[in-house]
């Protein structure tokens, strides 16, 4: 099991997680604060997973949670208990979706060692002690995670790795093998002494399927190989912009399944930096009249950000030669390009932000 898990992640059994991964866990900011609903995020590959989970947290708090106000102020009023219940619900929901709404498998670390290091397998001190718990009910999954929440949010608990392991086992190796393609044979890629998540990991969190690409459906690659994209519209969307990305590269363009999700929450990839963009208005993606004037909130996860950036978007008929206006926050031009490159416009015309 440990060998197959290592092969799925790294493509070999020798590599182990870097320190930024082993130290990462899920921790909210202070309750009853401007960032009470946001996670403290790390660097490197773990950041993309934490931000993808952050998108699910916002979706849950605004559009899924029952009996609560669904506005921005309600996000800032979370108590410590609210944060714990939210994290348990979101992790459980993500694993349940990965398990095709049939079961979820949760990985925890036991005291006993089940796998001994060999010349062909490098131990990391905790992956050899995994214990799996399979649950066949979504509510039971949420309760189990809540009862063991310290395993995901405690310092030194390897919480992000345990979530990734649980995600893989919930999806199953068999399903992953069918969903990946020749462009993505394993889930992580080496980068600057650490590891970054491939798109398949993010799509698994966002859609419940480990699709390696962001276009719609299946397309043929440069060598006529079949590449797998996103098959259905997701609850949470995905937008990306990079300075070196070619607009002529059709395989790198975000498809409508991710660009226009069911709910107004997007995981954003701006030059490799992950963040979350969202609106509190559920009707934003279903009522064109709402698109004329609406608010967006942006959480970058940067340590200097003390509260989410608030943007008011105005769409004007025949508004030409749009250029970014001066703004107080750091992603001014990059964020504007993100929206432009992902063609965020309505039938009324182009947009500006105030």
202-229 pLDDT, tens per residue?
999 999 999 999 999 888 877 788 899 8
Residue 320 has pLDDT above 70, yes or no: no
Q: What are the phi and psi torsion angles at 164 (to 5°)? A: -65, -45
Candidates 24, 3, 15; CA nearest to 164 is 24
Residue 319 has pLDDT above 60, yes or no: no
Both tokens of residue 150? Answer: 């310290």
How high is the pLDDT of residue 317? 59
> What is the pLDDT confidence band of residue 339, given thresholds at 50, 70 and 90?
low
235-254 per-residue burial string, b: 16 or more CB within 10 A, e: under 16: bbbbbbbeeeeeeeeeeebb
Percentage of the chain beyond pLDDT 70 is 86
How high is the pLDDT of residue 128? 86
Q: What are the phi and psi torsion angles at 234 (to 5°)? A: -95, 160
For residues 315 and 156, give the distance between their C-alpha atoms in angstroms, rounded to a whole number: 47
How high is the pLDDT of residue 328? 31
Which of 110-124, 164-178, 301-315 is least confident?
Answer: 110-124
Residue 351 has pLDDT above 60, yes or no: no
What is the C-alpha end-to-end distance of the chain, expressed in Å?
Answer: 53
pLDDT tens digits, residue range 235-275? 999 999 877 766 656 778 899 999 999 999 999 998 889 99
pLDDT tens digits, residue range 92-110? 999 999 999 999 999 999 8
Average pLDDT for 306-317: 82
> What is the pLDDT confidence band of residue 318, given thresholds at 50, 70 and 90?
low
For residues 199 and 3, give the distance between their C-alpha atoms in angstroms, rounded to a whole number: 22
Instruction: Please give the sequence-ordered ranges of beta strands (E in DSSP) within 217-259, or none if there are none.
Output: 218-220, 226-228, 237-241
Most confident of 93-102, 275-284, 306-315: 93-102
> What is the pLDDT confidence band of residue 152, given thresholds at 50, 70 and 90?
very high
Strands 130-135 and 104-109: antiparallel
How high is the pLDDT of residue 1? 77
How high is the pLDDT of residue 321? 43
Most confident of 50-64, 124-138, 270-284: 50-64
Both tokens of residue 127? Answer: 């992956």
Which of 6-15, 144-153, 173-182, 219-228 is least confident?
Answer: 219-228
Both tokens of residue 180? Answer: 């990946």
Candidates 47, 60, 46; CA nearest to 90 is 60
Does the model's pTM come out above 0.85? yes
How high is the pLDDT of residue 108? 96
For residues 16 and 24, give the distance between their C-alpha atoms in angstroms, rounded to a whole number: 15
How high is the pLDDT of residue 285? 85
Tell the burial category of 303 from Cβ atoms under 10 Å away from its Cβ (0-12, 13-18, 19+). Answer: exposed
Residue appearing with tokens 């798109």: 199
How high is the pLDDT of residue 323? 37
**CA angle centred on 67, ends 62 and 71, rounded to 5°:** 30
How high is the pLDDT of residue 337? 54
Residue appearing with tokens 């069911």: 262
Residue 326 has pLDDT above 80, yes or no: no
**3-state class of 253 per DSSP?**
coil
Higher pLDDT, 302 or 89: 89
Whole-number average pLDDT of the chain = 86
115 contacts 131 by C-beta, under 8 angstroms: no
Higher pLDDT, 332 or 248: 248
94 contacts 53 by C-beta, under 8 angstroms: yes
Residue 286 CA, chain-centre distance (Å), reads 23
> What is the pLDDT confidence band of residue 314, given thresholds at 50, 70 and 90?
confident
For residues 100 and 278, give the distance between their C-alpha atoms in angstroms, rounded to a whole number: 26
78 contacts 68 by C-beta, under 8 angstroms: no
Q: What are the phi and psi torsion angles at 10 (to 5°)? A: -110, -15
């Amino acid at each position: 099991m440990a060998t197959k898990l290592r092969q799925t992640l790294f493509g070999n059994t020798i590599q182990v997680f870097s320190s930024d991964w082993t130290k990462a866990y899920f921790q909210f900011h202070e309750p009853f604060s401007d960032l009470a609903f946001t996670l403290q995020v790390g660097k490197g590959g773990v950041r993309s997973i934490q931000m993808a989970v952050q998108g699910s947290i916002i979706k849950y708090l605004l559009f899924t949670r029952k009996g609560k106000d669904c506005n921005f102020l309600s996000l800032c009023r979370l108590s410590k208990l609210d944060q714990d219940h939210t994290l348990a619900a979101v992790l459980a929901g993500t694993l349940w979706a990965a398990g095709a709404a049939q079961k979820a498998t949760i990985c925890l670390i036991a005291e006993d060692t089940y796998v001994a290091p060999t010349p062909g397998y490098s131990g990391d001190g905790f992956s050899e002690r995994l214990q799996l718990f399979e649950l066949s009910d979504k509510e039971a999954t949420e309760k189990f995670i809540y009862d063991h929440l310290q395993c995901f949010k405690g310092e030194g608990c390897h919480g992000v790795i345990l979530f990734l392991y649980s995600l893989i086992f919930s999806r199953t190796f068999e399903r992953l093998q069918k969903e990946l393609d020749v462009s993505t044979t394993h889930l992580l890629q080496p980068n600057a002494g650490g590891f970054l998540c491939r798109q398949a990991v993010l799509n698994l969190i966002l859609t419940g399927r480990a699709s390696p690409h962001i276009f719609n459906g299946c397309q043929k690659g440069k060598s006529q190989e079949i590449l797998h994209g996103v098959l259905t519209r997701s609850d949470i969307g995905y937008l990306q912009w990079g300075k070196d990305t070619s607009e002529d590269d059709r395989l790198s363009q975000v498809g409508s399944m991710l660009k226009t999700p069911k709910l107004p929450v997007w995981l954003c990839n701006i030059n490799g930096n992950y963040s979350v963009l969202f609106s509190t208005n559920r009707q934003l993606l279903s009522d064109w009249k709402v698109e004329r004037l609406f608010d967006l909130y942006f959480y970058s996860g940067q340590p200097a950000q003390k509260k989410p950036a608030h943007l008011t978007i105005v769409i004007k008929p025949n508004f030409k030669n749009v250029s970014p206006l001066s703004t107080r926050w750091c992603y001014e031009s990059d964020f504007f390009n993100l929206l432009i490159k992902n063609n965020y416009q309505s039938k009324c015309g182009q947009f500006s932000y105030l």
